[in-house]
């Protein structure tokens, strides 16, 4: 005879998610305030000088090798909005819905026993931090979508994708069970330098007096190494041009030896002391720029990669 198990398990799980969300929001606010304080004059100058640009392709003549559909020019990776999850080793193939908080302050549960919920107020999968997916372990009619989550082993893969078809692969690192009222919020929702996806469900003995399972199972995963390297390379600004010199009316510099550089920007010091962007050179062109008015002029050069990331300014040439 089947045991009737209500959804109280997931409701109590929501308390964990809500507490973690508050913690994550606090971290996000602190990080945002710190970032604003670190803005310097050079970055502000570049922002003002370049804000009228529409695309990198309009600024530089970009070779075909740099043009890809999966990595659009001038677009940074900000994670994905997941719509589907597959876990081959435990035969999970489920849709993902976005959930938030109900009016009573609890996290909304997946609308079906076979569906998975992504906590939308938290991190997006693929960005640095901890994204969270949650699903039922069972229902009134029997096993639910995460019934076999406990069977996952280190190295198993979890694939999620968005409606555009972008797919991310996460690899299981470990799994842990915690008492339902004593899960470590820092490990699940706290600051992380990695790109993590944490899967949560109920586990352990069903406590009839409380109407829920006694423990919570958390499967910790991290973005697959190859994909993580691609995103890390994309997020890093390019190296700074070197050997910048002015000779007569000709400014020259050495090329940056990175595969995804698409061009260089030239800046000149104005009478007010700020530097103004005065020209751009595509990566395959000669690394020089002609300025007919070089009297008492100061210049610096930056490199730009295919993702729109700009290097730090070079040394000043004068």
Question: Which of these, 230, 184, 180, 229, lies nearest to 209 by C-alpha position?
Answer: 180
Average of per-residue pLDDT across 211-231 = 87
Name the catalytic one among 9, 66, 196, 202: 202
Looking at per-residue pLDDT, the higher value among 185 and 98 belongs to 98
Asked whether the predicted pLDDT for residue 117 surpasses 70, the reply is yes
The CATH 2.60.40.10 domain(s) of the chain lie at 237-305
Asked whether the predicted pLDDT for residue 314 surpasses 70, the reply is yes
Average of per-residue pLDDT across 284-296 = 92
**pLDDT single digits (tens) 190-218:** 778 899 999 998 887 776 766 666 788 99
Residue 200: what pLDDT?
92
Residue 58: what pLDDT?
76
**Contact at 8 Å (CB) between 277 and 310?**
no
Asked whether the predicted pLDDT for residue 69 surpasses 60, the reply is no
Residue 192: what pLDDT?
85
Class in CATH terms, 8-32+71-231: mainly beta
Highest mean pLDDT, choosing among 151-155, 187-191, 255-259: 151-155
Q: Where does the pLDDT of residue 94 fall: very low under 50, low under 70, confident under 90, or very high at 90 and above?
A: very high
Give the separation between CA 31 and CA 196, rounded to whole angstroms: 18
The CATH 2.40.260.10 domain(s) of the chain lie at 8-32+71-231
Name the catalytic one among 66, 136, 196, 213: 136
Q: Where does the pLDDT of residue 109 fall: very low under 50, low under 70, confident under 90, or very high at 90 and above?
A: confident
Residue 76: what pLDDT?
65
Q: Where does the pLDDT of residue 63 fall: very low under 50, low under 70, confident under 90, or very high at 90 and above?
A: low
Average of per-residue pLDDT across 127-148 = 91
Active site residue 66: no
What is the SS3 assignment for the chain? CCCCCCCHHHHHHHHHHHHHHHHHHHHHHHHHHHHHHCCCHHHHHHHHHHCCCCCHHHHCCCCHHHCCCCCCCCCCCCCCCCCEEEEHHHCEEEEEEEECECCCCCECCCCCCCCEEEECCCCCCCCCEEEEEECCCEECCEECCCCCHHHCCCCCEEEEECCCCCEEEEEEEEEEEEECCCCCHHHHHCCCCCEEEEEEEEEEEEECCCCEEEEEEEEEEEECHHHHHHHHHHHCCCCCCEEEEEECCEEEEECCCCCCEEEEEEEEECCCCCEEEEEEEECCCCCEEECCCCCCCCEEEEEEECCCCECCCCCCEC
Residue 176: what pLDDT?
95
Mean pLDDT (the chain) is 80
Average of per-residue pLDDT across 5-27 = 47
- pLDDT-above-70 percentage for the chain: 74
Among the ranges given (34-38, 49-53, 193-197), the one the predictor scored with the smallest mean pLDDT: 34-38
Active site residue 9: no
Record the pTM: 0.61
Asked whether the predicted pLDDT for residue 38 surpasses 70, the reply is no
Average of per-residue pLDDT across 107-129 = 87
Provide the CATH number for the domain formed by 237-305 in this structure: 2.60.40.10
Residue 104: what pLDDT?
61
Asked whether the predicted pLDDT for residue 35 surpasses 80, the reply is no
């Amino acid at each position: 005879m089947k045991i009737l198990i209500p959804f109280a398990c997931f409701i109590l799980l929501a308390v964990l998610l809500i507490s973690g969300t508050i913690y994550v929001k606090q971290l996000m606010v602190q990080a945002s305030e710190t970032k604003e304080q670190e803005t310097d004059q050079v970055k502000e100058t570049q922002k003002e000088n370049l804000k009228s640009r529409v695309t990198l392709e309009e600024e530089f003549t970009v070779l075909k090798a740099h043009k890809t559909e999966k990595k659009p020019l001038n677009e940074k990776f900000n994670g994905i909005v997941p719509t589907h999850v597959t876990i081959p080793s435990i035969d999970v193939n489920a849709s993902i819905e976005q959930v938030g908080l109900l009016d009573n302050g609890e996290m909304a549960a997946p609308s079906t026993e076979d569906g998975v919920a992504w906590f939308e107020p938290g991190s997006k999968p693929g960005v640095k931090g901890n994204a969270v997916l949650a699903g039922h372990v069972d229902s009134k009619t029997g096993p639910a979508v995460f019934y076999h989550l406990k069977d996952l082993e280190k190295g198993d893969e979890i694939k999620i994708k968005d409606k555009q078809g972008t797919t991310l692969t996460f690899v299981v690192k470990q799994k842990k069970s915690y008492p339902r009222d004593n899960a470590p919020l820092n490990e699940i929702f706290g600051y992380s330098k990695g790109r993590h996806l944490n899967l949560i469900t109920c586990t352990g003995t069903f406590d009839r007096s409380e109407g829920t399972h006694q423990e919570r199972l958390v499967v910790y995963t991290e973005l697959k190494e190859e994909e993580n390297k691609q995103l890390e390379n994309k997020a890093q600004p390019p190296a700074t041009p070197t050997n910048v010199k002015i000779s007569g009316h000709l400014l020259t510099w050495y090329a940056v030896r990175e595969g995804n550089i698409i061009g260089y920007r030239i800046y000149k010091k104005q009478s007010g002391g700020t530097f103004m962007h005065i020209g751009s050179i595509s990566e395959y062109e000669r690394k020089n720029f002609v300025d007919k008015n070089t009297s008492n002029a100061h210049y610096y050069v930056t490199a730009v990669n295919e993702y729109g990331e700009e290097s730090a300014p070079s040394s000043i040439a004068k």
